[in-house]
Chains A and B, each alone.
Chain A
Amino acid sequence: MNQPARGLTYSRVSFRYPDSPGIALRDVDLEVEGGEILLVAGGSGSGKSTLLRAANGLVPHTSGGQFSGNVLAFGRSTRTHRPRELADVVGFVHQDPEAQFVVDHVERDLAFVLENLGHEPQAMRRRVEEVLDALGIAQLRERAPTSLSSGERQRCAIAGALAAAPAALVLDEPTSQLDPQGADDVLAAIGRLNADLGTTVLLAEHRLERAAPLADRAVIFEAGSIVASPGPPAAVLAGYAGAPPVTHLARLLGWEPLPLTVRDARRLAVEAGRANRSDRSDRSDGSNGLDGCKPPPPDAPGEAQGEAPGELLLDATGVHVELGGRTVLADVSVSARQGEVIALLGRNGAGKTTLLRVLGRLLTARAGSIEGPGTVAYVPQDPNTLLFAATVRAELEQTLHLLGRRDHGDVDHWLAALDLTHLAGRHPRSLAGGERQRVAVAAVAVGGADVLLLDEPTRGMDAPSRAGLERALRAHAEAGGAVVLATHDVELAARSAGRVVVLGDGDVVASGPARTVLAGSLFAPQVLRVLPPFLTVDEVARAQGVPAAPAGRVEP
């Protein structure tokens, strides 16, 4: 790559989508330096996707709309250059691993960009081999993308964008649809590319626990403009709701400098503990640093304070399921009582989705029984499989209509519970990912089932949406229902669940109160690893007597 190390420059960029009243980008000025990794954080609908697409001209040339200002990508202006003329300087990766392959064959899809640019056959061969090695996917070259895991698919998509050796790589939430293992692989690959090849990376992410330590600088985007100027990630993300829990923890306890990883946080905890011990002779309130004296509250979050769980709603015993000749679940027993929020954890393929489907009466088990007076409803992983109505409100009303219920009172209740009232008249497909997921949950929950079964509800959700969902689930449990959540998100389990069940290879590996199961396991949340026995930042805050900050707000 012999491009000069200039980067991407946005000058006074404003943009409005066609037929859209809102403004997507307002007068944005941003400089991405050559060779750095810049992380863009922001909620759904904040405009960061638009910002990223402006880097290689997809906005405005592919999407249409009104564009003012200028974006320079390594000296080429996107006003005069179409995306296809920037393909050799800027590569683009989307968040959907299923929608980036032109040919159903990895190696031939990689060569797509090279064919388009008219490279010589010999040069194409060399480039393809190089990029297969750079991403470590050489063993996947003959496979069909539809047969790969989503992490592998995303790496192949990155390879496809990288084949023409662009100087910059723009990635729009590449890990949001992936499981933690796949996300790790993708982010590691991005870090390697930046370190070895010097590729400039412009990255938008929700999942900041992994992405933030990778970045050189970070910037926060909201409502079409930058609200926190680019700077070192820890400083910039300090007040951001979506920051890693350890950052929030450190901010709460006044630790400096703000950590982004568990490792840095542990070091600070040890230092603070040392400082605390030496200070204790002077101070008596112990308010600075470690709070070893005040034990955490005895009851786990997610259960109503002081209330014992209610009657049994659902009882599954000895469930045995075989799919495609393989034993997916072997002798699994799970029960749900009124007021409980249960988290189902486990690796990909451990059987979480299968268990939920069996509980939701969508799949019949070969052996075992499922009893209980409670009605069940299952919310599928992908909200797009549910949504078909013209408005959000109609979507909920449809469910009631299908169940033969005339009274539509519950519709408003659930719209309010999931913060969807202001979106009630919108087309569900025009909403961003996190909002769509909430609509899907509402559409199923409005049926009035006692036990809600949710499969990965927070995939791709930003912090405000997550907080809204958690509130609604807690309210449902408190009102006498139960919730069973299958998730990879340990923080979600720590914040919402009273009980945790861990599945491994079709067996129940662990089951019990959240605190006991999460402690000392691979599924420990960040705060637990830094400051045992606290599970979440909210617990620490409560122990301190400080009111917890309302989630979802960016603080200055």
Chain B
Amino acid sequence: MTSRFHALAWLIWALAAAISLQLAPSPLYVAVVIGIATLVVQVHGSDGPFARAFPVLLTLGVVFMVIRVALTAATTHTGIGTELFTTPSFTLPQLLGGFTVGGPVEAEVLFQAAAEGFVVVGVMAVFGAFNAVVSHYELVQSTPRAFYELGLVVTVALAFVPSTIQAVVAVREADRARTGGRVVRRGRLIRQAIPVLESGMERAVNLAESMDARGFAYGGASPLDRVAGWAGFASLLALGGAFVALVGRASTVALALGAAGVGLLLVAVWAASAARHRSRYRPRHFTTADGAMAGIAMLAPIGIAALSAWGESTLTWAASPLHWPAFAALPVIALTALLAPMIRVPPVNAAEPPDTAGRRELVSDRGSAAK
């Protein structure tokens, strides 16, 4: 399951889109970003099990938005907005918060909440697209060698998923077989959960033997490991200090300590990665195309930030007074940088087996002949 671009490039793209959303939260621009994300999924989406991620996360975002809108509309009454309708109201007991639910529902409140919820929908759409287009194996492969074992756990777990599902099906049937085809509900949970668990654990032990026999954990500790350990510890201290400084309202100190913390953590990760003796088989290298895509995508948040610094007013939208969101060409142009993944479009018949490729051509010929 390979993807046109390196997993890290996709991650940068997703982050660029998310940051753009935060910088330009007007519903119009959010809609543009969601549209771009949908297009990317259409073109680059893999057929694997994660293809559903985009619609699922999008739906989740919409549900989230609807709930939040209803909640805000029901509990916020400024008294100065345009009333749409009134619902019966009641006040919750103090124990449960003591706030009032119901009452006049105002248009401004409704639209403001909808606009803010829409931004969340945008974030969900962006990450849904990310999940749908990236190769998860490459994502795990790209983690620094310092986290190799944890990435391996995820890989092993993903390899176990299909056999677990098969095991559950087999166990359910065996349970019915025991009683001559009848389903006995009482105690079913234990009778079915335990065999799946035990078989899985036994398989894990066999896998562990296979891994040990194949050289897993070859090579012991090295001095770089110790460097990594202390650097990590120091970075945590620095980050803690940054938090304390933040509470103490010394923002420059906080920023400095935060930067130091991040830097020390990077040192720790580098040291831990260098301490490992492993090599990588056919790793996916970050090519110039990947860099180009990531670079172009980053132009979007940078452009929006520049526009915002120049005082572009259409980037944010407030519901009161009630008005249509304004449209300006420059932010949209900046956002089109998020179309960067289109610089390498996968060929249409790439994954097709030879015998259906011919059939497709026939259909398209007929289609073009009908025009």
Contact = CB atoms under 8 A, between A and B. Distances in A.
Contact between chain A and chain B defined by CB under 8 Å: yes
Interface of A: 53, 56, 58, 61-62, 82-88, 90-92, 94, 96, 98-105, 108, 111-121, 124-125, 128, 145-146, 157, 160-161, 164, 357, 360-362, 375-380, 382, 384-388, 398-399, 402-403, 429, 443-444, 447, 449
B209 interface: yes
B281 A385 contact: no
Nearest to B283: A121
Given A116-B214, A116-B216, A385 B171 contact: yes
B212 A382 contact: no
B176 A385 contact: no
B226 interface: no
B156 A386 contact: no
A84 B216 contact: yes
Interface string B191-211: 100110011001110111111
12 contacts: A99-B203, A100-B210, A104-B155, A104-B162, A105-B137, A118-B279, A362-B173, A377-B178, A380-B170, A380-B173, A385-B173, A447-B179
Contacts of B162: 104, 146
Given A115-B278, A118-B277, A376 B180 contact: yes
A384 B163 CA distance: 14
A91 to B, nearest CB: 7
Given A85-B218, A118-B277, 8 more contacts: A102-B152, A108-B281, A115-B279, A116-B218, A376-B181, A378-B177, A386-B174, A388-B191
Given A84-B216, A380-B177, A102 B211 contact: yes
Given A53-B209, A83-B212, A104-B159, A449 B218 contact: no
Interface string B209-243: 11111111111000000000000000000000000
B282 interface: yes
A98 B165 CA distance: 13
B184 interface: yes
B210 A92 contact: yes
A385 B170 contact: yes
Interface residues of B: mostly helix, strand, loop or mixed? helix
- Listed from nearest, the 7 A-B pairs whose CB atoms lie closest are A361-B181, A87-B215, A111-B281, A116-B215, A99-B206, A385-B174, A92-B213
A106 to B, nearest CB: 12
A207 to B, nearest CB: 20
Contact of A58 (B159, B212, B283): B212
Contacts of A90: 213
A172 to B, nearest CB: 10
Interface of B: 137, 152, 155-156, 158-159, 162-163, 167, 170-171, 173-181, 184, 186-187, 190-191, 194-195, 198-199, 202-204, 206-219, 277-283
A96 B203 CA distance: 8
Nearest to A59: B209
A357 B169 CA distance: 14
A97 B19 CA distance: 47
B195 A119 contact: no
Contacts of B180: 360-361, 375-377, 403, 447, 449
A157 B210 CA distance: 9
A191 B159 CA distance: 30
B178 A444 contact: yes
Nearest to B168: A385
B215 A117 contact: yes
A86 B209 CA distance: 13
B206 A96 contact: yes
Nearest to A105: B137
A88 B215 contact: yes
Contacts of A376: 180-181
Give the interface centre of A61, A111, A157 by most chain B CB atoms within 10 Å: A111
Contacts of B207: 99-102
Contact of A118 (B202, B219, B282): B219
Contacts of A91: 213-214
A387 B212 CA distance: 28
B177 A103 contact: no
Contacts of B211: 102, 112
Given A99-B210, A102-B156, A121 B198 contact: no
Contacts of B212: 58, 61-62, 82-84
Contacts of B198: 384, 387-388, 429
B279 A119 contact: yes
A502 B171 CA distance: 28
B210 A94 contact: yes
A124 B281 contact: yes
Given A53-B209, A362-B181, A447-B180, A112 B214 contact: yes
A44 B214 CA distance: 26
Contacts of A82: 212
Nearest to A90: B213
B181 A360 contact: yes
A100 B204 CA distance: 9
Contact of B194 (A83, A379, A388): A388
Contact of B213 (A87, A382, A388, A399): A87
Contact of B202 (A56, A160, A384): A384
A385 B194 CA distance: 9
A425 to B, nearest CB: 18
B182 to A, nearest CB: 8
A62 B208 contact: yes
A379 B181 CA distance: 11
A443 B178 contact: yes
A382 B177 CA distance: 12
Nearest to A93: B210
Given A84-B218, A102-B152, A102-B207, A447 B281 contact: no
